[in-house]
Amino acid sequence: MIIKNHNTVLPHLISKKNKARLSVIAIATVLTGCASKIQELPDSPQIALPQAFEVITAEPSQNFTKEQEEPANPVIDGWVAEFGDAELTSHVQTALLNNPDLWASASQLKNAIEQVTVTGSSLWPSLRLDGTASNSESSAAAASGGAVQGDGGTETQEIRSIGGTLNVSWELDVWRKLSDRKKASALSAQAQAELFKAAELSLAANVSRAWFNLIANKLQLDLAQRRLDSFERTAKLIEENYERGLRSALDVYLSRTDVQVQQSALADSKFNYLRSLRAFKTLLGKYPSTSLAFNAKLPELENAVGTGLPAELLTRRPDVKASQLRYEASIANAKAARKDRYPSLTFTGSIGESRDTFNSIFDSDNMIERALLSLTTPIFAAGALKSREQQAFNDAEAAYASLVKTSLTAFEEVENTLSRETLLKDQYKATQEAVRLAEGGLNLALDRYQSGIENYNTVLQSQRSLFNSMSNEINIKNALLQNRIGLHLALGGNFSAITEQSTTNNLPSPTYNTTLTDLPDEKP
């Protein structure tokens, strides 16, 4: 057996006085040596903004910014109704209730709201009740310390013990570290709310795009049928002339070939229409059937769109606002990570007693009470706390970079859609004129063909030119509508004139009472 002398051990121990001195030195070192770089980060994206968005024309020399002509009109809300299509408005409302992607976005928002409560709970004391119960038996002789004479055996005694302890733990938010983390959680929830709003806007835009694509494909299908009918009439005319000996067999073969080509094109147009119809039904959260009655007419764009000022885009677009809030949340987390290196003050306490019945617990004057106020400060963690602080700062820098990128992308989208709308309008006017000229050219070609002046190739080329121009007119008009939707989305204007604050009570949720056999009763 080795017996250590207390005189050789005590000199190596640190006295309480030295411990206190070391703690004070460590605290001072932490407070003075943790100068944070968070304050160097800007509050908002540092981007040089113009006074107004550009206006692009077909002539590059005539390009100018809007402030050179007139002030920019403010962005309006309720752009879905601006198309003047009641069916579209109804379909958007249906999608907002039934679209699964929006359900998922709403659930993410609900979780983010609940996380604020979870994070904020650290600011409050934590109470925990612990209970114990035990039963044991002992002989009377053992209890009295000697033998007990009885009539035939040893008496036993049952001992029952029930204990209860109420424990309290509370970290005091001296440096507002816990408040910073709650603030970060609240900012993240606000960012998620903006993302949900962006999801609503995106859904309204996608439904509008799919709706106009559906109408355009229906118009293309009708045009393909008209095209086939026209080529069949021409082929019939050529066959009649051939039977009278006025045309050659070559014209008959060429005309019949064109009829077959148009039949193939008609089948392709029909599939495109059915595919767009199924995609539209899926977007509405309905079974992708091919039954839907609607008026196939693309609306005219007459009114110009108010663009507002570029600076307003940073505070209006939901995705930009969400990026700004995530950036602010990362700053709050970085501040909390810095304060993790500060001392923490914690209060712990307990009160409890053991009794023979549960009802008598906490009723006695002999309850044991304990309370402890402890101050702890990190001294050495192998650089982990410092690295975590640096990681949090790096996350804040990454969030700022994401904010700048999101903002620049937003400006790019606005400028591109504005430029494309101007050029598409010029293109649409040219296509309308091309259709008018092609109609006149076909009529003239048919007359000259009947008179024997022109050959069939001239008629064929005129037919193709007319129907190609009519198809382009539909496509460009649809492109104008698609671009207008993109412009509204890029500007961040609300799709509805009535805006409601999103809460957990009015967020969309999946419905569970619908069966697969509940197909909509729609006329084909």
Q: What is the 3-state secondary structure (H, E, C) of 80-102?
A: CHHHCCHHHHHHHHHHHHHCHHH
* Of residues 383, 386, 407, the one with CA closest to residue 313: 407
Q: What is the pLDDT of residue 347?
A: 87
- The CATH class, in words, for 125-137+156-172+343-376 is mainly beta
Give me the pLDDT at residue 25, please.
Answer: 46
DSSP per residue, 225-252: HHHHHHHHHHHHHHHHHHHTTSS-HHHH
CA atoms of 212 and 11, how far apart (whole Å)? 88
Instruction: Report how far residue 221's alpha carbon sits from residue 213's, in angstroms, rounded to the nearest whole number.
Output: 12
Q: Which residues lie across from 168 on neighbouring strands?
A: 127, 349
Q: Give the pLDDT score at 2.
A: 34
* Contact indicator for 58, 416 with CB cutoff of 8 Å: no
Using a cut of 0.85, tell me whether the model's pTM lies above it: no
DSSP secondary structure, 308-326, as one string: --HHHHHHH-HHHHHHHHH
Containing 103, the helix (H) or strand (E) segment is: helix 100-120
107 burial type by CB count under 10 A (0-12 exposed, 13-18 middle, 19+ buried): middle
DSSP helix/strand/coil, 418: helix
- Amino acid of residue 99: N
Going by C-alpha positions, the residue among 157, 154, 161 that lies closest to residue 137 is 157
Tokens (6 digits) for 444: 């003239």
Written as six digits, the tokens of 380 are 């050495």
φ and ψ of 67, to 5 deg: -70, -15
pLDDT at 129: 83
Q: What's the topology of domain 29-123+178-342+382-491? A: Outer membrane efflux proteins (OEP) (1.20.1600)
pLDDT tens digits for 386-434? 898 899 999 999 999 999 999 999 999 999 999 999 999 999 999 999 9
Alpha helices in 284-383 (DSSP H): 310-316, 318-339
First and final C-alpha spacing in the chain: 99
How crowded is the C-beta side of 155, counted as CA atoms within 13 Å? 11
Give the chain's length.
Answer: 524
Phi, psi of 351, rounded to the nearest 5 degrees: -145, 130
Pick out the chain residues at pLDDT < 70: 1-36, 56-71, 137-155, 157-158, 353-369, 499-504, 513-524
Radius of gyration, CA atoms only, the chain: 40
Quote the pLDDT of residue 60: 55
- Contact present, 165 and 350 (Cβ < 8 Å): yes
d(CA 213, CA 298): 10
Please state, as a whole number, how many other Cβ atoms lie within 10 Å of the Cβ of residue 325.
22
CA distance 399 to 387: 18
Rounded to 10 degrees, what is the CA torsion of 412, 415, 419, 424? 70
Q: Provide the 3-class DSSP secondary structure of residue 157.
A: strand
**Cβ atoms of 59 and 294 closer than 8 Å:** no
Domain ranges within the chain, ordered by starting residue: 29-123+178-342+382-491, 125-137+156-172+343-376
Contact 231, 468 (CB under 8 A): no
Q: What is the tens place of the pLDDT at every residue in 177-205?
A: 999 999 999 999 999 999 999 999 999 99
Helix axes 177-243, 318-339, angle to 10 degrees: 150
| Residue 9: predicted pLDDT | 36
